Amino acid sequence: MASGASGEQPQRRAPAPAPEGPIGVVDIGSNSVRLVIYDRLVRSPLAVFNEKSLCAIGRNMVRTGVLDEEGSNAALAALARFQEVARSVGVVRLETFATAAVRDARNGAEFVARARNAIGTPVRILSGEDEARFAAEGVLAGIPEADGVVGDLGGGSLELAFVSQGQQSGGLTLPFGPLRLMDLSEGRPDRARAIVDAELEKLPGLERLRGKALYAVGGVWRNIARMHLENVQHPVQILHHYEIARDRAIDFTGLIAGLSRKSLESAAGVTRKRAEAIPYGAVVMERLLKVGRLDRVIISAFGVREGLLFSRLSEEERARDPLLSACEDMSRRLGRDPALGGILAQWTAPLFQSADKGFDRLRRAACHLADTGWRGHPDHRAELIYEEVLNAPFIGIDHPRRNQLALALFHRYGGSDDKREKRALRFIGEEAALRARSLGLAMRAGLVLAGPSPVVLQSSAVRLTPGALVLTLPRRHQALMAEASTKRFEILAEAFARSFRVELR
């Protein structure tokens, strides 16, 4: 309803209450059909089940105009399985959508009717603009500070949208997904380059891409990134937020586009069906970087599926910090006292008053994780928590910060593995590594003093003076300063190049 003469503004309709329980999303793409089940509808959803079937329903569509029969039958079988899996897991809401191949095929409506019977829910056909919008929403959900262009490469199309300052705009679709390019180029990646260039030259506002980051979404591009990550022996084996500089990305995609299918099949994690599409995905990335003059590629594990869920959240939930949200949730599930992380964050704050906002955020995240490793064997807690945090499904954090966070937790549990520290030092630099160590030692000292209860932390305080690290402690807790806790505070004080003293009150 339009606003009236009184000047009142129309109210945005509040989203429906979030369902209490697992929520599933089924994505019927041109190349693959996938089911992802998330624990619940929250700011940082945790995928509890993720399965795809490479059906290639969009194969040969340029020539035939219809969906591939063999691929369609495989997709319907996968959808029937997905319905059973969703029912057994107790999914309370299942959303199903289809993209370019179904949208463009002459028999798309017929397939949708069969797909609805197989999956047991309505099947929404997304427009190209919808795909671009939801892909951009997904990138912003996982990388809130994203500034550049989102490229979602499916089997039949490429969707583009601009993102900046938490907003997305300018969604459009281009007709060159790998399966379509295979048909148009008659199986020749060199001919595919000319096809992509011709389409890109028609793109209005192409100059807006210059100097921006490409946020890459889609399975083919993730495969290419995985191959690059392993090729350079990157220290963090996580694809989300993996970054490749422009020149390296152009060189690597040029190399991949020229590899034989047999060579690609030998690469780790590349299936036979995916191998035929990878050279064409590499061509699209290479030409987009060159013609658009983009300056780097950043991989996003979040895309249309997560964007769809993100759009369902309330404004309040959307505004939450995704990293802190995930760490708070991990603390509730694995820690011994859900209040401990927040109180430890307040307790450590005076020691890091000069830190920038990025490290302050990381410090708060670390404090929520500080008691999550207690179930591990005492001899191996430091190594276990380091690997768990380094490889956790966190969003809203880049790879250097992820490594710094893992290193802080490593020192919180008394880690002293020179090999791990040297590896982190090479990746994040000496200053960041030393700050992670100081944070880890601060958390360790506080939790050795207080144990897993926040009571003592709430009644004590630490601060830095020009010459000392000072612990203020109520007299009733004086007995807590035994040899073990005194030693931890002396080590912490040394990290700040200060002496240590206790003030009783």
3.10.510.20, 3.40.50.920, 3.30.420.150, 1.10.10.10: CATH of 128-306: 3.30.420.150
The better pLDDT of the pair 225, 20 is held by 225
Using pLDDT thresholds of 50, 70 and 90, give the confidence band for residue 269. low
Average pLDDT over residues 298-308: 96
Higher pLDDT, 420 or 112: 112
pLDDT value at position 213?
97
Tell me if 421 sits within 8 A of 386, measured CB to CB.
no
What residue type is assigned to position 385 of the chain? I
Report the pLDDT averaged over residues 281-294: 95
CATH superfamily, region 23-125? ATPase, nucleotide binding domain (3.30.420.40)
Question: Per-residue pLDDT averaged across 207-219, rounded?
Answer: 92
Q: What is the pLDDT at residue 5?
A: 32
Residue 421 buriedness (CB in 10 A; 0-12 / 13-18 / 19+): middle
CA-to-CA distance for 494 and 271, rounded, in angstroms? 52
| Helices 189-201 + 278-292 axis angle, to 10 | 40
pLDDT-wise least confident of 154-158, 304-308, 328-332, 452-456: 452-456
Whole-number Å distance between alpha carbons of 274 and 410? 38
CA 206 to CA 5: how far, in whole Å?
Answer: 42
> Model-level pTM?
0.90
**Strands across the sheet containing 468-473:** 461-464, 468-473, 499-504
pLDDT digits (tens, 9 = 90+) for 380-411: 999 999 999 999 999 999 999 999 999 999 99
Domain 321-504, CATH homologous superfamily name and number: Hypothetical protein af1432 (1.10.3210.10)
Asked if domains 23-125 and 128-306 share a fold, the reply is yes
Paired tokens of 129: 């603009």
Q: What SS3 string covers 422-466?
A: HHHHHHHCHHHHHHHHHHHHHHHHHHHHHCCCCHHHHHCEEEECC
The pLDDT assigned to 23 comes to 96
pLDDT in tens, 77-97: 999 999 999 999 999 999 999
pLDDT tens-place string over residues 121-143: 999 999 999 999 999 999 999 99
| Domain boundaries, given as residue ranges, for the chain | 23-125, 128-306, 321-504
Burial of 94 by CB count in 10 Å (0-12 exposed, 13-18 middle, 19+ buried)? Answer: buried
User: What is the structure's pLDDT at 6?
Assistant: 33
pLDDT of the residue at 3: 30
